[in-house]
């Protein structure tokens, strides 16, 4: 990535803003303004110095190591202003942010001379925007922005990100169908790891909307072309997404709501194409204040290479509230799933009927009881040809924990062939397993667990998975499902006790692959203003997979005095996979302290550790981040240090030190 264009633009912006200070500064709002070629209002500026540095070392099991250093120092200038060209109604501009030109050195050891660099660099966090014909319905805007930030992927992983963005927004903002066309360009580099990653993408977005008294229709299309490089591995890709959404309200009492959506997506990364079609609609009818009905249907098709999958769903239901405390729901549903590929094809049809009850009861003035249950009947039919089922683009989202508890998903089909699993991000780019996720099987179920610290899969991230699974013989069977849950909250929620039970049974013949489940969980919580604790135990037994999990958490909040705060958060997770005869433990401890040392000086410290123990998942992580901020009059100083440590599978150890200091005086 080159920064010559952004340098020229930034220098031009600085020269323009500074030169304009000698112009006319006494223009006042509230009166008719005469045309002037250039005007500037309310210029505010500050001058200072900015410096940062990072040192990262990664040591492998064989004793070899890689060291990455990056240092920067230079003056900084902050500007905030607005103005116009010729007249505010023709072109109005805004400029806000910080600019820091300086000298950068960067080195990787061992490495070739091409990986050693020492040159001029322009850092900044600013945005400038020009609004054209702002009072007209066809108003447009142009922008240029640069950011230099520290991005947290979870509590124990932080990187430095330099980004440059520019583009424009055009359209027509009145009439029955206002629309907008946006053309944006982004170049981004990520530092802080041993390997620098870069992304360049160009996107074109079109959105149009029609708003009516009874509803709204919106069309959004996005075309994105991108290029990525990650540690010497890279590729180019193309995304195209088109979505049409509609919301309607009907009836004399506005008692009928209809939501519909249509979608299409095409992805191509390094010549691996995939596409998706989707459609869904839902109608809800509020017949009386206590009685309603709902109807829904959906279709989804996914294609990757020669494989494809189709999914149809349709259902209807009614809901009745006999009392304020008792709600009943009856639902009928039909589903059809089919897939085909090189290994064979399968079709699965399901017809189900479910009844749910929810009861809430106040006990005295400070306690509440919640009881709920669902009974489901299913009739299942499946037809299979071939030995394997190919599944393309199965979408999963990891639970977001910020890296303080396990983030794990399970593939939907049993008996997956682990060698066929391909994990991709939303754009279709393949994500390597090392350092990003682990795959393991417990019985017939395949799990994918995010590695804490992965930058390709952020905490709570979404992945697409292609895989093949063993096909079940053709046949049909019936299944019965039961779900019950209860929760008792005492003393305005200070104490909570809960439990749940889930079971699924069927009459499938032994040769069919059909799941039976018996699972239960119990838990308790205790909450005070300064102290929170919770515990849960779950037992899950199935003919596919069985496990036991215990979860504990504790939080403490203190206010030693009016000038400080102190918090501690702890969690412990214990999981035993019975079929795989495997155990895993996950511990985290995080503390934060903030204090005003004087009227002008503040201190903040946070740090913690994370320990994951188990076969093929051992990982130890630490983080420590102290910081100071000083403010007196128009002078501000901010400094910080960030230390992270990661040991993974006893095969690699990475330490990163990063510090920065910013001093600035406002004029």
Percentage of the chain modeled with pLDDT above 70: 93
Q: Are 547 and 442 in contact (CB under 8 A)?
A: yes
Is 70 exceeded by the pLDDT of residue 256?
yes
Residues 345 and 382: their CA atoms lie apart, in Å, by: 11
- pLDDT per residue as tens digits for the range 404-454: 777 889 998 899 998 899 998 877 778 888 778 989 889 999 999 888 778
Mean pLDDT of 393-401: 87
Mean pLDDT of 282-298: 96
Residues 389 and 340: their CA atoms lie apart, in Å, by: 7
What integer best gives the mean pLDDT of the chain?
A: 88
- pLDDT per residue as tens digits for the range 183-237: 999 999 887 665 678 889 999 999 999 999 899 999 999 999 988 887 666 678 8
Give me the pLDDT at residue 25, please. Answer: 36
All residues at 6 or more sequence positions from 21 whose CB lies less than 8 Å from its CB, including other chains: 40, 43
Residues 146 and 3: their CA atoms lie apart, in Å, by: 11
Kindly tell me the burial class for residue 506, based on how many C-beta atoms sit within 10 Å of its own C-beta (0-12, 13-18, 19 or more). middle
Quote the strand ranges of 460-618, DSSP E.
462-470, 475-490, 495-506, 517-527, 531-542, 547-561, 564-577, 582-596, 601-614
- Sorting pLDDT into bands at 50, 70 and 90, what band is 150? confident
What is the gyration radius of the CA atoms in the chain, in angstroms?
A: 29
Q: Are 660 and 50 in contact (CB under 8 A)?
A: yes
Give me the pLDDT at residue 11, please. Answer: 47
Residues 301 and 157: their CA atoms lie apart, in Å, by: 36
Q: Are 427 and 267 in contact (CB under 8 A)?
A: yes
Taking Cα atoms as reference points, which of 148, 188, 145 lies closest to residue 167? Answer: 145
Q: Give ∠ CA 661-115-51 in degrees, rounded to 5.
A: 10
Taking Cα atoms as reference points, which of 432, 394, 387 lies closest to residue 410? Answer: 394
- Sorting pLDDT into bands at 50, 70 and 90, what band is 660? very high
Residues 617 and 438: their CA atoms lie apart, in Å, by: 8
Please give the model's pTM, rounded to 2 decimal places: 0.81
Give me the pLDDT at residue 113, please. Answer: 60
């Amino acid at each position: 990535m080159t920064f010559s264009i952004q340098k020229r633009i930034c220098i031009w912006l600085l020269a323009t803003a500074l030169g304009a200070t000698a112009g006319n500064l006494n223009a006042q709002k509230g009166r008719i303004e005469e045309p002037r070629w250039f005007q500037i209002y309310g210029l505010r500026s500050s001058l200072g110095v900015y410096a940062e540095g990072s040192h990262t070392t990664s040591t492998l099991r064989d004793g070899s190591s890689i060291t990455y250093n990056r240092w920067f120092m230079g003056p900084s200038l902050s500007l905030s202003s607005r103005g116009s060209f010729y007249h505010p109604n023709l072109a109005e501009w805004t400029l806000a942010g910080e600019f820091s030109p300086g000298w950068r050195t960067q080195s990787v050891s061992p490495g070739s001379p091409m990986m050693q660099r020492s040159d001029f660099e322009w850092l900044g966090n600013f945005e400038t925007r020009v609004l054209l014909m702002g009072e007209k319905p066809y108003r447009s805007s142009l922008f240029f922005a640069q950011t230099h930030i520290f991005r947290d992927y979870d509590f124990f992983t932080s990187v430095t990100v330099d980004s440059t963005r520019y583009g424009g927004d055009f359209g027509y903002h009145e009439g029955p169908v206002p629309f907008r066309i946006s053309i944006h360009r982004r170049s981004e580099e990520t530092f802080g790891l041993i390997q620098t990653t870069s992304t360049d993408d160009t996107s074109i977005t079109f959105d149009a909307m029609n708003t009516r008294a009874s509803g709204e229709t919106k069309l959004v299309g996005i075309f994105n072309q991108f290029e990525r490089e990650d540690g010497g591995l890279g590729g180019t890709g193309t995304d195209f997404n088109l979505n049409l959404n509609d919301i309607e309200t009907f009836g004399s009492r506005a008692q009928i709501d209809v939501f519909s959506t249509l979608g299409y997506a095409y992805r191509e990364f390094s010549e691996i194409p995939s596409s998706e079609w989707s459609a869904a609609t839902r109608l809800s009818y509020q017949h009386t204040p206590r009685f309603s009905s709902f109807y829904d249907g959906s279709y989804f098709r996914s294609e990757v290479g020669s494989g494809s999958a189709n999914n149809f769903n349709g259902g209807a239901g009614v809901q009745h509230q006999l009392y304020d405390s008792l709600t009943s729901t009856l639902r009928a549903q039909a589903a059809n799933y089919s897939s085909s590929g090189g290994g064979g094809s399968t079709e699965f049809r399901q017809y189900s009927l479910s009844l749910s009850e929810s009861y809430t009861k106040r006990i005295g003035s400070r306690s509440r009881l919640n009881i709920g249950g669902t009974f489901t009947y299913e009739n299942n039919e499946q037809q299979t040809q071939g030995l394997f089922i190919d599944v393309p683009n199965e979408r999963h989202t990891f639970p977001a924990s910020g890296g303080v508890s396990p983030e794990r998903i399970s593939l939907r089909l049993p008996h997956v062939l682990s060698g066929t699993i391909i994990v991709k991000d939303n754009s279709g780019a393949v994500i390597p397993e090392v350092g990003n996720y682990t795959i393991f099987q417990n019985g017939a179920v395949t799990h994918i667990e995010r590695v804490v610290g992965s930058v390709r899969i952020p905490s709570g991230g979404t992945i697409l998975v292609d895989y093949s699974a063993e096909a079940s013989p053709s046949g049909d069977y019936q299944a019965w499902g039961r779900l019950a849950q209860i929760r008792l909250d005492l003393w305005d929620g200070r104490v909570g006790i809960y439990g749940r039970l889930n079971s699924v049974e069927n009459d499938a013949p032994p040769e069919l692959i059909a799941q039976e489940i018996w699972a239960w969980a119990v838990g308790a919580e205790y909450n005070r203003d300064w102290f929170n604790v919770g515990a849960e135990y779950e037992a899950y037994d199935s003919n596919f997979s069985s496990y036991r999990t215990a979860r504990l958490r504790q939080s403490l909040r203190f206010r030693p005095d009016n000038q400080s705060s102190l918090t501690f958060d702890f969690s412990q997770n214990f999981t035993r996979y019975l079929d795989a005869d495997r155990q895993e433990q996950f511990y985290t401890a995080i503390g934060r302290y903030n204090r005003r040392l004087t009227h002008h000086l503040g201190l903040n410290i946070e740090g913690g550790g994370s320990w994951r123990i188990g076969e093929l998942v051992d990982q130890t992580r630490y983080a420590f981040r102290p910081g100071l901020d000083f403010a007196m009059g128009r002078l501000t100083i901010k400094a910080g240090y960030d230390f992270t440590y990661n040991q993974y599978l006893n095969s690699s150890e990475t330490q990163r030190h990063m510090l920065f200091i910013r001093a600035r005086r406002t004029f």
